[in-house]
Amino acid sequence: MAETTLQYHHHGRFKVTGGVLPDAVTAYQTYGNVSNPCIVFPTCYGAKLGLGSQSYLVGEGKALDPSKYFIVTFALFCNGESSSPSNTPPPYNGPYFPAISYEDNIRAQHAVLRHLGVEKVYCVVGFSMGGQQAYHWATVYPEIVERFVAICSSARTSPHNKCFLEGPKAALKAGRDFNDGHYTSTPQVAIRAFARAYCAWAYGQAWFRGHLYEMGGLYPTLDAFMREGWEGRYVANWDANDMLALLDTWQRGDVSSVRDGGDFVGCLGAIKAKGLIMPCKTDLYFCPEDSANEVSMLKNAELVIIDSVWGHVAGGGANPTDVAFITKKIQEFLA
């Protein structure tokens, strides 16, 4: 039956890319009946299950309907809900938290599904970092996953994307109150600097040509948009070390590093699951050209471009029109 409260699975001692976690924890939520086909829907950067980040696609009549599917939403390691620098006790707390890969997350999520009695995954759906996890699910567990949906995402993080992420990372680490990660209270200066360096990339350039201040009149000025929409959100809900650790996972993203020794073409060609790849026309860092290239390497995948001026956030529930388009395409794909 449905269980929408946040749950926690304790893995015990768990090996990760950068070492070990003595008691790794994966946070998750479930929706629907476990006897129905299972859909996995992991979080992206900036998303928390407790804040309802997955709700734009989960619910009755939505893309992922609990009356039809058993839906499991997973919190990434380092997001502050699953094991993270902010909630792990010494000696792996704060800046001492080990590096985490997508593969580490997928292995942990798979363990939770086994605990729930799930043996097959009908589909893995993800936006941004969630989409990168969808690619990794299809690579790490090809015998389990039937299909996957990657929205505004990629099978590996591009050099362009990696370079961009160095900007907000450097801004945060240079904040006078960051103290090399050994802060004792919220380093607001550092987090606010990160938010301002990070915010512009998420939107297509066309979106800034007259739509910025509309949004129901929420943001009368550009500064209000950056302060309320970005600074406030991260200061209120995020830990600085968590933000850095999660960026590191993002920068490491590459399905071919899992088992193909860097053979990207061979890795994608070996994926058995059916794919739906949905980039946004104006996404500046998960570009549709990259998605088209990846689809050409996949054996059984469809490319559907979101024709939107909202850039990257078109895939994350930023506006009703794009959500309706994504919902329709996912429903058709699942049917």
Question: Is 65 annotated in the active site?
Answer: no
- The single residue of 82, 128, 154, 256 carrying the catalytic annotation is 128
Parallel, antiparallel, or unpaired for β 123-127 and 147-151? parallel
Exposure on the CB side of residue 144, measured as CA atoms within 13 A: 23
> Distance between CA 32 and CA 67 in Å, rounded?
6
- The single residue of 283, 290, 291, 308 carrying the catalytic annotation is 283
Residue type, 187: P
Element (H, E) at 11: strand 3-16
DSSP conformation class of 227: I
C-alpha 195, offset from chain centre: 17
Residue matched to tokens 């910025």: 212
Residue matched to tokens 């309706």: 324
Question: Is 312 annotated in the active site?
Answer: yes
Residue 286 CA: distances (Å) to CA of 118, 121, 159, 274: 32, 26, 11, 20
Helices in the chain by DSSP H: which ranges? 102-116, 129-140, 159-174, 188-199, 222-226, 232-237, 240-252, 256-259, 264-269, 288-297, 320-334
Question: Is 10 annotated in the active site?
Answer: no
Kindly list the catalytic residues. 128, 283, 312
